[in-house]
Amino acid sequence: MRVSFRGEAKPIERLFDIALRGEPVPLVSVPETPFAFQLVQDRADVDISDPAFDFVRSIRVFEITYQQRRSSDGDCNSWGSVYMGSYGDQGEYSRRRSSVSAVPTASDFAVPTDCRSYWHRSVFVEWRDYEGSYGHEEVHY
């Protein structure tokens, strides 16, 4: 015996039916608008070269990875990688390799003076707001 029951289809079920049966998709009309859309890539969509926007250029992003441990031979082994990112005149972001010594002191990162097991991985962001006040945030992961 074969029985089937079909109640009202849920919206997602209806979409699957349309996709699998090859039914034409209903056209949606969009009202005309006086606005022109423009694709903007890799830059701000307004001119931010004015000194009033210096706070954007003050943002620095540090990607920090550092590991230290004592080997079975008794040697102290360490490895670190730091990248620093910043924003240019029109808000374009660039990133370059940096050094452990360039990480701001406000970061939780600190190379231990003794050779103990140590692992640090974070993104540290610092900035100066439009009034010149310093701010920072660090996310460990």
DSSP string for 73-137: TS-EEEEEEEEEEEE-TTS-EEEEE--GGGS-TTSS----SS---EEEEEEEEEEE-TT--EEEE
pLDDT the model gives residue 9: 67
Give phi and psi for 12, each to the nearest 5.
Answer: -70, -35
Q: What is the mean pLDDT of residues 21-34?
A: 59
Question: Could you say which DSSP state residue 102 is in?
Answer: G
Average pLDDT over residues 75-83: 95
- pLDDT above 90 covers a percentage of the chain that reads 55
Q: Is the entire prediction scored with pTM above 0.85?
A: no
The 3-state DSSP class for residue 89 equals coil
* pLDDT above 80 (res 82): yes
Least confident of 23-32, 90-99, 131-140: 23-32
Give the pLDDT confidence of 37-62 residue by residue, as tens digits: 665 565 556 788 888 888 989 999 99
Comparison of pLDDT for 9 and 47, the residue scoring more = 47
